Homo-oligomer: A and B are copies of this chain.
């Protein structure tokens, strides 16, 4: 029966996607509740209804759960969004406007939770830099695509670095702020300070 079984995705893929999401969500919740270090793999596995061994089938490491929430979206969207910017903008302007688009589109309550977890310990704070490093790299290579003149390379490298720096400082400002304003505002301010530095 049911000859036209819904087969646009396949049982396998659906289950996989569901399990992945369930584990990621369970993990994030447990981190938020008990703290990152105090949450064992075993606990995450059990709460997700899988065996500890199977956890590693979905995530290579424990902190890939955090990367899952932090990185998904933004990291992949940087290059296309940056390339889609109007051509009359300066490199720095283009990156700034890209970031403004991306944070509005991808940062949500979950990102706030992740941010709080990342800032709960020194080792995690350091690991978060891996994310920034990755974005910096992507921004740089994308900028080089748009402005391929070799003599601009060093300058573009610097642009990528200061832009990610401004991004970091914006997140920092948001974290330290007592009120809660839209993330894009912090970004605007951060880049304004950067441009004022000149």
Where the two chains meet, the residues of A that have a C-beta atom closer than 8 Å to any C-beta of B are 92, 122, 125-127, 129-130, 133, 154-155, 157-159, 161-162, 165-166, 168-169, 189-190, 193-194, 196-198
A46 to B157: give the CA distance in the assembly, Å. 44
Q: Is there contact, CB below 8 Å, between A161 and B165?
A: yes
Q: Identify the interface centre among A125, A154, A166, A196: most chain B CB within 10 Å of its CB.
A: A154
Give every chain B residue within 8 A of A158 (Cβ-Cβ): 165-166, 169, 190, 193-194, 197
What would 5 more interface pairs be, CB under 8 Å, given A92-B197, A126-B126, A162-B162? A126-B130, A129-B129, A155-B196, A155-B197, A158-B190
Choose from B122, B133, B169, B197 the contact partner of A126 (Cβ within 8 Å): B133
**Residue in B closest to A61 when the chains form the complex, CB atoms:** B123
Give every chain B residue within 8 A of A194 (Cβ-Cβ): 158, 162
**Residue in B closest to A123 when the chains form the complex, CB atoms:** B130
Give every chain B residue within 8 A of A193 (Cβ-Cβ): 154-155, 157-158
Give every chain B residue within 8 A of A197 (Cβ-Cβ): 92, 155, 158-159, 162, 198
Q: A162-B197, A197-B162, A197-B198 are in contact. Are A157 and B129 (CB under 8 A)?
A: no
Give every chain B residue within 8 A of A169 (Cβ-Cβ): 157-158, 161
Give every chain B residue within 8 A of A157 (Cβ-Cβ): 169, 193
**Residue in B closest to A161 when the chains form the complex, CB atoms:** B165
Q: A126-B130, A129-B129, A198-B198 are in contact. Are A162 and B165 (CB under 8 A)?
A: yes
**Residue in B closest to A159 when the chains form the complex, CB atoms:** B197
**Residue in B closest to A92 when the chains form the complex, CB atoms:** B197
Nearest-CB distance from A125 to chain B (Å)? 7
Q: List 10 A-B pairs, minimum CB-CB distance, nearest first.
A: A198-B198, A129-B129, A126-B130, A161-B165, A158-B193, A154-B193, A158-B197, A165-B165, A162-B162, A158-B194
A-B contact pairs, 9 of them (CB 8 A): A122-B130, A126-B126, A126-B127, A126-B130, A155-B193, A158-B194, A161-B168, A161-B169, A162-B197
